[in-house]
Amino acid sequence: MFKPHVTVACLVHAAGKFLIVEETINGKALWNQPAGHLEADETLAQAAERELWEETGIRAAPQHFIRLHQWIAPDHTPFLRFLFAIDLSETCATEPHDSDIDRCLWVSAQEILQADNLRSPLVAESLRCWQTGVRYPLSLIGEFNWPFTEGVKHGSA
């Protein structure tokens, strides 16, 4: 059965800068937006907020939905990546709680678009999507019969 990885990502903007997390994978420092996998019994927006806190130490809720990307990684892993926008009034200090994150950086759009160390092409594509100015309300993503109740069987659609 086909089961793509469901992930969330936060494009965080403040004072003309964008928040990037840096992690070392196979000996190379790679950039990504704060991102990660959806966990059981959480909404997509909750997952985005959790991942932002785990990877940066920043507590902020997504304000808008930007885009859903369906992507197949070079290793043939399929992904559904939900991209959220968070606009802050100013850059702030970061403190990653996830041991996989080496550091967080506030960088310009140009630095991201010209970087040769992006974890995936979705990092630059997410920025380009943000730059279009198109924002969708979070209500576009609905949770049906949420939270799960005793009478609902997990795993059925």
Question: What is the model's pLDDT at position 154?
Answer: 47
Output the average pLDDT for the chain: 93
First to last CA, the chain: 14
Q: Which domains does the chain have, with CATH numbers?
A: 5-140 (3.90.79.10)
pTM for the whole thing?
0.91
Look up residue 31 and give its two tokens.
């950039």
Question: What is the model's pLDDT at position 150?
Answer: 53
Question: What is the model's pLDDT at position 149?
Answer: 57
The answer to whether the Cα torsion of 115, 118, 120, 122 is positive or negative is negative
Confidence of residue 103 (pLDDT cuts 50, 70, 90): very high
Instruction: State which amino acid sits at residue 81.
Output: R
- Paired with 32 in beta bridges are 21
pLDDT in tens, 3-59: 999 999 999 999 999 999 999 999 999 999 999 999 998 999 999 999 999 999 999
Question: What is the model's pLDDT at position 35?
Answer: 98
Look up residue 58 and give its two tokens.
């920043």
Residue 156 has pLDDT above 60, yes or no: no
Backbone angles phi, psi at 49, to 5 degrees: -65, -40
Question: What is the model's pLDDT at position 16?
Answer: 97
